[in-house]
């Protein structure tokens, strides 16, 4: 018999975070989170997302053995401001037992009905900066730190329980040698002169910080038209600055500003931390921090985490300025492979930006929904 227990104590939440460590203990491709950071994500006193959202965490047991988990999430900005009455759920992991996955989804759906929401969708996080999607292709390649990995049977459970595909995402990669500077070198000089733009270069994290709030503002503007978008609030900006920017090499952060010092484009690229996180195995100390620092300094693979162009400058070639800056940095660093985070299949604008580099899709993922 499957028993569902809400995780309310620190001990329960730690069990919630550590469940995938046993579920994927034999996987070469799963990348463990840092347990301390994951716990802080779920801490209502530390994560400002809880000012505009609520989440409840549930564990599934079979004869006292932990066999599954799920986070049930309501983002009230989405529900009240955007009038999208969605019951979110994420961090959804389970053994290959339909009774287990059904019990967890039933719990999520019951909460959605209590709040009079229209449908449930997952797996998703609290916002656009969280992980998204159940993986349906690419099980034989290591997962980036900013995505979920899952067993192939997951998608079958969704379908069996009456869920249908809502959004589709792809992840692609390309060798850096595919990047030919003649595709953007001359164009970016022309664009800078025409629109009076210049690129900012950073060597220290503290140099980035004065522009960070403007970057999140631009993120909100440039991503607002996407179907999955939920804005980043002012209070969340400070949290994300502290959480993410220290992980990023400052030279991998590229900003483009106009002659009024207005930010019109940005890109954030991260070193590939996946293998380092596998070695860390969920702990920063005593050795995990060293593995991560080594990857930050020496990784020859990078992940394009975010790229955004102000709506006034979209389709005007500003991305060429960003690519030129990245090309010079990557050449200096000896980068070998570039990876892209999950992108909506219907986001034609972003796909056009990358077409010159002949990217190859190596993973696909989906979110699924069910009317309540």
pLDDT 10s digits, 9-35: 999 999 999 999 999 999 999 999 999
Integer CA distances (angstroms), 223 to 164, 217, 243, 344, in order: 25, 10, 21, 12
Please give the pLDDT value at position 169.
95
Peptide bond before residue 222 is cis, with ω within 30 degrees of 0: no
Quick check: 246 pLDDT over 80?
no
Please give the pLDDT value at position 145.
84
pLDDT higher at 352 or 218: 218
Please give the pLDDT value at position 95.
98
Measured distance CA(281)–CA(152) in Å, rounded = 22
Mean pLDDT of 318-333: 95
Quick check: 183 pLDDT over 70?
yes
pLDDT band at 170; cut points 50, 70, 90: very high
Measured distance CA(8)–CA(314) in Å, rounded = 46
pLDDT higher at 226 or 321: 321
Mean pLDDT of 3-9: 97
pLDDT tens for each residue of 76-105: 999 998 899 999 999 999 999 999 999 999
* pTM across the whole model: 0.93
Please give the pLDDT value at position 228.
62
* Token pair in block for residue 295: 């990857």
Please give the pLDDT value at position 248.
87
Please give the pLDDT value at position 227.
62
Quick check: 352 pLDDT over 90?
no
DSSP bridge pairs for 93: 69
pLDDT band at 155; cut points 50, 70, 90: very high
Domains belonging to the chain, first-starting first, are 2-171 (3.40.630.30), 175-363 (3.40.630.30)
Mean pLDDT of 310-334: 93
Please give the pLDDT value at position 287.
85
Quick check: 188 pLDDT over 80?
yes
Q: From start to end of the chain, where are the E strands?
A: 2-6, 53-62, 65-75, 86-94, 119-122, 134-137, 164-175, 198-200, 253-257, 263-271, 301-309, 337-340, 343-344, 360-371
pLDDT band at 285; cut points 50, 70, 90: confident
């Amino acid at each position: 018999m499957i028993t569902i227990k809400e995780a309310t104590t620190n001990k329960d939440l730690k069990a919630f975070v550590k469940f995938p460590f046993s579920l994927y203990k034999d996987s070469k491709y799963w990348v463990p989170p840092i347990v301390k950071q994951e716990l802080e994500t779920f801490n209502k006193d530390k994560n400002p997302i809880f000012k505009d959202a609520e989440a409840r965490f549930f564990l599934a047991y079979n004869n006292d053995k932990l066999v599954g988990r799920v986070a049930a999430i309501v983002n009230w900005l989405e529900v009240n401001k955007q009038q999208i009455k969605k019951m979110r759920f994420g961090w959804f992991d389970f053994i290959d037992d339909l009774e287990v996955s059904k019990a967890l989804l039933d719990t999520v759906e019951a909460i959605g009905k209590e709040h009079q929401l229209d449908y449930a969708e997952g797996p998703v996080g609290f916002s656009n900066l969280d992980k998204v999607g159940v993986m349906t292709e690419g099980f034989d390649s290591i997962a980036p730190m900013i995505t979920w990995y899952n067993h192939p049977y997951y998608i079958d459970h969704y379908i069996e329980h009456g869920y249908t595909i809502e959004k589709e995402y792809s992840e692609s990669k390309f060798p850096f040698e595919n990047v030919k500077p003649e595709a953007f070198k001359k164009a970016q000089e022309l664009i800078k002169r025409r629109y009076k733009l210049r690129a900012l270069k950073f060597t220290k994290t503290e140099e980035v910080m004065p522009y960070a709030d403007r970057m999140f503002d631009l993120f909100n503007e440039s991503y607002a038209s996407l179907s999955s978008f939920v804005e980043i609030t002012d209070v969340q900006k400070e949290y994300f600055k502290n959480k993410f920017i220290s992980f990023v090499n400052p030279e991998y952060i590229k900003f483009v500003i106009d002659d009024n010092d207005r930010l019109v484009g940005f890109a954030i690229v991260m070193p590939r931390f996946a293998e380092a996180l596998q070695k860390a195995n969920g702990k920063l100390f005593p050795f995990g921090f060293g593995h991560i620092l080594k990857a930050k300094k020496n990784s020859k693979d990078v992940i394009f985490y975010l790229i955004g162009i102000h709506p006034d400058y979209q389709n005007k070639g500003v991305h060429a300025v960003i690519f030129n800056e990245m090309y010079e940095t990557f050449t200096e660093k000896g980068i070998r492979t570039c990876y892209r985070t999950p992108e909506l299949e219907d986001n034609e604008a972003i796909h056009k930006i990358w077409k010159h580099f002949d990217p190859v899709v190596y993973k696909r993922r989906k979110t699924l929904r069910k009317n309540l």
